Structure 1
Amino acid sequence: MSDTSLFSSQWHRVRDVRPRLASDVTVSRHVYRGRTAYVLHRRATAACHRLDVASFELVDRLDGDTTVGQLWERAIVERDKGAPTQDEWIALLAELHAAELIVVDRRVPEEKLFDRRQQHQRAQQRQRYLNPLYLRFALHDPDKWLTRFTPFAQLLFSRGAGLVWLTLIIWACLSVFTQADQLWDSLSGSSLLSSRYTLLFALIYPPLKLLHEFAHALAVKRAGGEVHETGIALMVLLPLPYVDASASALFADKYDRMLVSAAGILVELACAAIGALLWANTEGMLQDIGLVMFMVGGISTLLLNGNPLLKFDGYYLLADWIEIPNLTARSRAAVLGTLRSLVSGKPESRKRYDDRGERVWLHAYGVLSVIYRTLLMLSIAWMLSDRWFFLGVLLASVVLILVLILPVWKAISALIKDPVYRSGRSALLAGVVPLLLVMMLFWLPVPNSSVVPGVVWIPDEAVVRVSSECDISDVFAQPGQNVKAGDTLFICKEPEAQARLHELVARVDELRVRRAGAAARDPLTLNTLDAELAASDAALADTRERIVAATLRATLDGLFDVVDTSALLGRSLDRGDVVGYVIPPTVRTVRLAIDEEWIVRFDDRLKSVQLRVSGANGRARVYDTTVLRRTPKASHRVASAALSSYGGGLHTADPDGDGRLLKQAVFDVELEWPEMAGSAAVGSHVGVRLVYASTPLLERLSTALRLAIASRVAS
């Protein structure tokens, strides 16, 4: 008997009621987690309800003649301390009545019962449209023609068929394993977004889902069940067939129920295996078809349909395996019951959760499923907004209403109506906890930092760059050679520089002679000649500097290396081209790229910078550093391909570039290399931790959301 009071203040309302089980209720005996249970099923409403042995013994006595009070008094005599309290007996009857498994008054006419059935069906129809991720529209009752396939169902789900399936899966796995790199290249390539693959996906996905649903129906018929509904479901606006396999809830053997849940997954995995074999052993169109079959039947099935955190096949498979029916509803009730106990201070009733392992499953699933479903739906909304912005925003709004606004409203309603929450403790917790959460969101500063990859680089003076268009005529240092500051590396002559020099020298000499004559004969032209002479002198000086600059010298001691190729002699270069580097033994810097939208935070709120450098022994150490400079303008080109996705960086590389060209503009930042860090290979990655001023969490989330939406709208 429960530790709570044996009597209830509401007892007078129900003690004289004479309920009975509905005439179309069937009872089946099940075993869950080693405990016997009875499942009540009403065919008219498709409602199912599980009862333990003690509860079923009471419910089984509901005959329409015996009152609720008489049944309870009889239970007191027979069970003594094991009898339910009045509140527990009332709650059980309320649950059965809500599921329409009991009839309270036998004098209610059949027309009224029919009206109730219609009301239940309308409520079911409304429930179908509350999940924007999965909408269903019933079309047909297929049970009669499905019965003809019962012999085929027995053969399909036999041990022999299982061995064939297992052999096919192993064969496909071996084929994929031996060509894993090629498969990864095919899956990660941009060609999957082409119209060719989109068309193949649209042609292959519906037939696979039709086989999936047909497998569910055959698994139900194999175990003697009935399938009375089939139709079209919209899963993320994609039309797909479906069948109602809920009759499997009545199967006493849990492995029959598990087979019904897994049937569609097994068929799709078989199709995925066939697709993998096609991809691995064919070419052209057949190979493309195989790749799409592998993605649809394998990857999407395991991530979505086979995921137990979503209420699809994987959910029912898990519920039957751990023997906890109605897992979603019961896990929600368990979590809410725990919260109710924490707020009210009253111990949680654990009559239904005697098994400690069952309580762990319920609480873990209740929390994880809500988090996962919310994140999944928001992710889908984000992906939809890339193509249909309004639709994505609408779906995100629906998710927030269902996940945040409605639960808060229900909690407030429960707080007002439930007498359990009217104590001082409950009012204090209900007021203080939300206030603390609001304060944390709006005012409490939270440490703010980000970790980005940087690349070990060399100082700007180590870069060998030409200042004008030229051709390399003489080479004095070879790649891989150690040079010292001032050593000549090569000479890069401009083809027309010498001719231009001779022309300017002659021009200056001519102007000087003319000026000397004009000073004596024509003083009025003297100013004009002076201006021309000054311009020619400046051009001559510039040309001489360019000829001198044609001799490229090392500005540091280090190892000389070149870009692209080791052959320097005769190479033609454009102005600003980087020819090579003089890599110093120890002097280094660190280069990183900051997204354009985050540069304001970098400029205004950056407090410190840290480097995480791996030593020779494999251990990493953290060093403080400072910012040497950042470029004043954003650019689509980075210092090294190691900063782009081409070389393992964060920023997406332009496929038409050389690895240094990005799709989005970034700011180039250079950091000082700590002396204590010693030397490091140029081009290697280091971790850079940017520490910003602490900011409230809500401000950070709103900023990130605003920038993400702005980026999505702009794209």
Structure 2
Amino acid sequence: MTGAHAEPWEAVGALKLRLRDGLRWSHHATPGGVWRVVRNPLSGRCARVDRAGFVFLHALDGERTAEEALAIAAETLGPAAPDREEALGLIAFATSAGLLGQSLPPAAAAVVERRSARRRAARVQRGLSVLFWRQRLWNPDRLLDRVAPPLSPVFSGLGFAVWLLALLAGAWHLAAGSERFAEALAGALRFDPAYLLGALGVFVGLKLLHELAHGVACKHFGRGVPGGCEVPAVGLMLLVAVPVPFIDVTSSWLIPSRWGRAAVAAAGLYAELFVAALAAVVWAHTAPGLLNTLAFQTVLIASIATILFNANPLLRYDGYHALADAAGIANLGQRAQAMVTGAALRLLGVPAERAFAAAPGGESLGEASTRQRVLLVVYAVASTAYRWLILAVIVVMVGGQWLLLGKVLAAMAAVGWLVLPLARFVARLRRELAEAGRGRRALAVGGGVAAAAVALAVLVPVPRFAFAPGVAEARATAQVRPRTGGFLRRVLPAGEAADPAGPPLLTLADPALAAERAGAAAQLAAARVRLDAAAGGPPAEAAALADRCAALADRLAELDRRIAALRVPAAAAGVWIPEDPHLAAGDFLAPGVPAGVVADLSGRRARLLADQHLGPRLAAAMGPGGRVTVRSSAGRFEARVLEIAPAGSTRLPSAALGQAGGGAVRLETGPRPDAAPGGEAAEPFFEVVLDLVAPADGRPLPLPGERLRGTFRLPAEPPAVTAVRWIRQALLVR
């Protein structure tokens, strides 16, 4: 153990350290090995260490030096024993957790502080996460001791049955009012101070209930633990500037049953979903108003948001801890990251016994089965990708409102989540290879890998694809608008063939118009009699009667034209598609209002909506004649570009594309007198008109009005160029 860290070890190795009296140790067997949980009786907090850490710390009895304790660990564990660097980390861990029964001398304290990976990471986290803050407020243990017994039945079999029935009732009410819920959901993300203040109050109230459930569950499932499970602290933290309460239930690690530990981790979700179910019932049975809005916000926050974040095992919240405890894999995230890091180190020449031995549970990673290794690697990749996705969404949302702050957050994230971890990996790689005498290989392999990665990102173009929603329509349509209003007497059935020489599409009746024509005809006949009687009389009187007869004749002709217009023929051959599929005799049709279309179904067109970033790129990359792939419920179809709109628009060609109609386009929430019939999009888009090509296998083309998804193949470019453009567009979207 005479590695590169002998000099700082001299300040600690000669110290005779001892653990605090009264520490309570327990062990838990998991598929990853045996873990020791220690409880500090003064603070009530618990901590976990692996076998190597336990052996070293347990050897610190005040009689032996740290160097002698390290020698005992090496004799007991062999290659799995901690080295001096790891021993320094364990001493720093024991110091921060209050496990040592003495204070370190100033020189040793400085070394431990400098070498402590945990403190170093905490400083970096505090420096880089200005929107995240955490503060303990008070000890709720006595309060929970009083309230836990009467609330414990919620975790019994009967309580679970009631919870399940409530969830079924809530789901049934939401399914019954799905259209109404979708409309409310479309307007949920609006900047209304009163609405947002109510949502914030609901959020904080739900989180208080969430943390209370954790505390009660910890007391309930920890009844069999000697001395019970203590809950030493409750506090407040800021999560992206939003106040969120938290509670310390690390004592649940003392619960012997892994299912009990998982239940404590999932208790907050359990409580929130129950409240969401009750709120769904209230929302379904109340009219629009304050109570209805608060119930809707409760459903949204306590179910959808909770499932996406708290229940998601890819984020280190309740779902993660519940999964780790239920699967019996302590420190799942750390072990997964250690597996990926160890695999990378192993590929770069680090011996296996060192590559897989520097993380909690590290002594078992090198001996893990192939199945366990695959699971850990998959979890590490998936969780890292998801956290980056969440971070990107936060940066885009913040940057959309405050561009400078968004850029600062993006830079801080790049430093904290990319540059610093990469620097730590490189430093560890150099240290491990230097101790193994493989420094030259490290430089050659590391330099080659870095150069290859940069070349791939900057120089090698890769295919790019873009996607856009759209709607199918007939190749040619003739809109039908009655020129004269009236009550419908007969209508051609929907889907029937229409022809200008065939029967009319609509036959209307207007009794008032018929009566008006009869009156006009009677007046004309009377005027003509008077004109005949005035023959030979004064010329002026005859001229006036002649003018009146001409005016009445014109009026009668106009009424005849209006009566003839009550029969609405087809303007072109095709298929009759009424605007209202339930159109029936007796309905009133106003003049000039669309009643339907005659569509030529021998071909189809599609209208795709490209956002304001994709539209100009499509115009530059492809013009008329470009090929596009379109997908619908009937499969995949080829299409040809007919036109790309030269300017953006917000008028949707079909209501089916908006969120209220089941589409993906976000709609403008405010009323507009000039709104398009299909709705107004919240962001401008470029309309791309396509001509669908009939498939060779004879499959029918999509029906008019059916939603589509278009895929555009764009010119290849290096990933780095794509990433830079995406970040710029995301921050400048508003």
Which bracket does the TM-score occupy, shorter chain normalised?
0.7 to 0.9
Aligned twin of 1:157: 152
Partner amino acid, structure 1, of 2:148: A
Aligned twin of 2:236: 232
Aligned partners of 1:148 and 1:235: how far apart in 2?
26
Question: What's the CA shift for 1:602?
Answer: 1.7
Aligned twin of 1:538: none
Aligned twin of 1:346: 351
Give yes or no for the alignment of 1:603 onto 2:619. yes
Report SS of the residue matched to 1:99: helix
1:398 to 393, 412, 428: 412
Q: 1:329 to 1:42 in 2, by over 3 A?
A: farther
Q: 1:449 to 1:552 in 2, by over 3 A?
A: farther
Aligned twin of 2:298: 293
1:22 to 15, 19, 24: 19
Aligned partners of 1:437 and 1:619: how far apart in 2?
41
Q: 1:444 to 1:578 in 2, by over 3 A?
A: farther
Partner amino acid, structure 1, of 2:452: L
Report SS of the residue matched to 2:328: coil
Aligned partners of 1:398 and 1:9: how far apart in 2?
32
Q: 1:434 to 1:465 in 2, by over 3 A?
A: farther
Partner amino acid, structure 2, of 1:432: G
Aligned twin of 1:375: 389
Report SS of the residue matched to 1:711: coil
Report SS of the residue matched to 1:157: helix
Report SS of the residue matched to 2:243: strand
Give yes or no for the alignment of 1:660 onto 2:678. yes
Give yes or no for the alignment of 1:620 onto 2:642. no
Give CA deviations for 1:251-286 in whole Å, capped at 9, x if unaligned. Answer: 555455444433333333333343334334555544
**Unmatched 5+ residue regions in structure 1?**
1-5, 492-546
Question: What's the CA shift for 1:358?
Answer: 5.2
Aligned partners of 1:26 and 1:42 also within 8 Å = yes
Question: What's the CA shift for 1:124?
Answer: 9.6
Q: 1:649 to 1:486 in 2, by over 3 A?
A: farther
Aligned partners of 1:179 and 1:280 also within 8 Å = yes
Aligned partners of 1:446 and 1:695 also within 8 Å = yes
Aligned twin of 1:518: none
Aligned partners of 2:217 and 2:695: how far apart in 1?
68
Aligned partners of 1:593 and 1:668 also within 8 Å = yes
Give yes or no for the alignment of 1:670 onto 2:693. no
Worse-superposed segment, 190-199 or 10-19: 10-19
2:208 to 207, 210, 215: 210
Aligned twin of 1:698: 720
1:557 to 573, 580, 588: 573
**TM-score normalised over the length of structure 2:** 0.71
Aligned partners of 1:204 and 1:426: how far apart in 2?
54
Aligned partners of 1:612 and 1:688 also within 8 Å = yes
Worse-superposed segment, 419-428 or 429-438: 419-428
Question: What's the CA shift for 1:379?
Answer: 1.4
Aligned partners of 1:270 and 1:685: how far apart in 2?
36
Give CA deviations for 1:317-350 in whole Å, capped at 9, x if unaligned. Answer: 3333233333343333332222111122533446
Q: 1:454 to 1:242 in 2, by over 3 A?
A: closer
Aligned partners of 2:99 and 2:686: how far apart in 1?
74
Aligned twin of 2:133: 135
Give yes or no for the alignment of 1:176 onto 2:170. yes
Aligned partners of 1:123 and 1:8: how far apart in 2?
22
**Unmatched 5+ residue regions in structure 2?**
223-227, 358-362, 507-561
Give yes or no for the alignment of 1:589 onto 2:635. no
Aligned partners of 1:68 and 1:118: how far apart in 2?
17
Aligned twin of 2:461: 445
Aligned partners of 1:471 and 1:570 also within 8 Å = no
Q: 1:295-374 maps to which residues of 2 (within 5 A)?
A: 295-344=300-349, 346-347=351-352, 348-349=355-356, 351-353=363-365, 354-356=367-369, 359-374=373-388
Aligned twin of 2:473: 457
Q: 1:668 to 1:63 in 2, by over 3 A?
A: closer
Q: 1:319 to 1:482 in 2, by over 3 A?
A: closer
Q: 1:464 to 1:411 in 2, by over 3 A?
A: same
Aligned partners of 1:330 and 1:362 also within 8 Å = yes
Question: What's the CA shift for 1:196?
Answer: 5.3
Give CA deviations for 1:132-154 in whole Å, capped at 9, x if unaligned. Answer: 564212333x26xx336425424
Report SS of the residue matched to 1:21: coil
Aligned partners of 1:30 and 1:37 also within 8 Å = yes
Aligned partners of 1:16 and 1:570: how far apart in 2?
96
Give yes or no for the alignment of 1:48 onto 2:67. no
Question: What's the CA shift for 1:201?
Answer: 2.5
Q: 1:221 to 1:554 in 2, by over 3 A?
A: closer
Give yes or no for the alignment of 1:433 onto 2:452. no
Partner amino acid, structure 2, of 1:332: Q
Aligned partners of 1:267 and 1:569: how far apart in 2?
52
Aligned partners of 2:168 and 2:255: how far apart in 1?
37
Aligned partners of 1:124 and 1:689: how far apart in 2?
44
Partner amino acid, structure 2, of 1:373: R
Partner amino acid, structure 1, of 2:162: L
Worse-superposed segment, 85-94 or 380-389: 85-94
Give yes or no for the alignment of 1:684 onto 2:706. yes
The sequence identity of aligned pairs, in percent, is: 24
Aligned partners of 1:403 and 1:26: how far apart in 2?
36
1:60 to 58, 61, 80: 58
Give CA deviations for 1:573-610 in whole Å, capped at 9, x if unaligned. Answer: 66xx8775432352433333333442322222128424
Give yes or no for the alignment of 1:269 onto 2:269. no
Question: What's the CA shift for 1:74?
Answer: 7.1
Question: What's the CA shift for 1:486?
Answer: 8.0
Partner amino acid, structure 2, of 1:692: L
Aligned partners of 1:123 and 1:410: how far apart in 2?
11
Partner amino acid, structure 1, of 2:678: R
Q: How many residues align?
A: 635
Q: 1:116 to 1:44 in 2, by over 3 A?
A: farther
1:39 to 37, 40, 43: 37
Q: 1:645 to 1:442 in 2, by over 3 A?
A: same
Partner amino acid, structure 2, of 1:702: V
Give yes or no for the alignment of 1:241 onto 2:245. yes
Aligned partners of 1:225 and 1:104: how far apart in 2?
18
Q: 1:386 to 1:659 in 2, by over 3 A?
A: farther
Aligned partners of 2:646 and 2:99: how far apart in 1?
79
Aligned partners of 1:134 and 1:234 also within 8 Å = yes
Give CA deviations for 1:518-577 in whole Å, capped at 9, x if unaligned. Answer: xxxxxxxxxxxxxxxxxxxxxxxxxxxxx9xx9999675323455567899997766xx8
Q: Higher RCO, 1 or 2 (CA under 8 Å, sep at least 6)?
A: 2
Aligned partners of 2:35 and 2:48 also within 8 Å = no
Aligned partners of 2:57 and 2:90 also within 8 Å = no
Aligned partners of 1:619 and 1:187: how far apart in 2?
25
**TM-score normalised over the length of structure 1:** 0.73
Partner amino acid, structure 2, of 1:31: H
Q: 1:488 to 1:313 in 2, by over 3 A?
A: closer
Aligned partners of 2:211 and 2:246 also within 8 Å = yes
RMSD over aligned Cα atoms: 4.9
Aligned partners of 1:471 and 1:572 also within 8 Å = yes
Worse-superposed segment, 677-686 or 239-248: 677-686
Aligned twin of 1:147: 142
Q: 1:229 to 1:312 in 2, by over 3 A?
A: same
Aligned partners of 2:121 and 2:721: how far apart in 1?
41
Aligned partners of 1:25 and 1:40 also within 8 Å = no
